[in-house]
Chain A
């Protein structure tokens, strides 16, 4: 019986701690997701690729941006670069900027990683989290598509079914838009 009472006490204590901590936790977590950006104007970003190119949302003429937020250690992110490379080869001349935004690793590690894969689309090292925080990225991989007017048209957190056809179809549509 005392054993039971003790157990109940401990469970109550744990519950109390959890409940007391929850509001602090909730406010600190700021449950925000990049999906909320769909259909809205993209946050204004400026970023420098690992090769030193400067890209910004306001660049003229309007570009279609396809961003992938990734890290080297993220296994499911590895499926994205082949598709991005294809988009890059097909549409770079038509004003599409496919960019890998690495949110964790050093420029040297990123360069090595993309070289092994043979990818030539641009990479940004966002170790400081500037771009990542703008878009409220909380998970990898996340893909964000922005049209020529600067409106976020699609956000994919993780790779759902048919993500690559959904992405390439959308890019094809956005290229045609002026």
Chain B
């Protein structure tokens, strides 16, 4: 029925790198807590060995301090690989990728229409409201925090149990809903809610790493969209802000990674003999 251009099997490489990254940032050795990890990983996790950049960013805003090093981290990482952190290093993205394998092959919401919500989450909640209220508001609703810190801390430290209030249960309920959603929808948190993803998203347009689709060979079979963990039709927007640069679609011979420091093949200047 479908002329699938993607015939190669999914490589285990990305899964292994994701697992390794999750293990390294949650190694239990708090030696690097001064250093922000580029992905979303709660530093209140009992095993966390690095700081969460979103939590740290909000802390700087609360302290009315300019987050120089964090802006540097975002620009340096985003400038080279765009959103690849989401696709390769983020433990919470990894969990959602694993959940997506359980559910039905055909997922709900195969669109990028709600992606503005993650920018709203970044600008309204993590930046403006956090600055105005003087408390890290995104952390309070962060499902990654509920999973990595809230639940383990309450298990490890019985003294905290008497303090559990409405907000904690609300977080648990939203986490459960998100887990259920991740089985039916590809990466719902990353696509619609993650403020850190919103930080890296615009870098896809300007990063050194780019995706390129050869229009002469692409049959628009949607094979790339099927293997894409964020349900993106890559041939439409190879450098979309929704792309998490996992490179699964490069299994299709029409899609390739280019590094912008090389000459752009589509540039008309290339015809000049040199």
Contacts and interface: CB of A to CB of B under 8 A. Distances in A.
Interface string A149-178: 000000001111000000000000000000
B102 A72 contact: no
B38 interface: no
B136 to A, nearest CB: 6
B163 interface: yes
B135 A21 contact: no
A109 interface: yes
B157 interface: yes
Of B62, B98, B163, which is in contact with the most chain A CB atoms at under 10 Å from its CB? B163
Q: How large is the interface on B (under 10, 10 to 19, 20 to 34, 35 or more residues)?
A: 20 to 34
Q: How large is the interface on A (under 10, 10 to 19, 20 to 34, 35 or more residues)?
A: 20 to 34
Q: How would you classify the secondary structure of chain B's contact residues: helix, strand, loop or mixed?
A: helix
B29 A28 contact: yes
Contacts of A159: 163
A7 B47 CA distance: 25
Contact of A13 (B19, B133, B163): B19
Interface in B56-72: 58-59, 62-63
Given A25-B46, A29-B46, A105-B63, A75 B135 contact: yes
A25 B27 contact: yes
Nearest to A75: B135
A105 B63 CA distance: 8
Interface in A1-37: 3, 6-7, 10-11, 13-14, 17, 21, 24-29, 31, 33, 35
Interface string A127-139: 0000000000011
B156 interface: yes
A14 B98 contact: yes
B162 interface: yes
B159 interface: yes
A7 B102 contact: yes
Contact of A3 (B29, B101, B163): B101
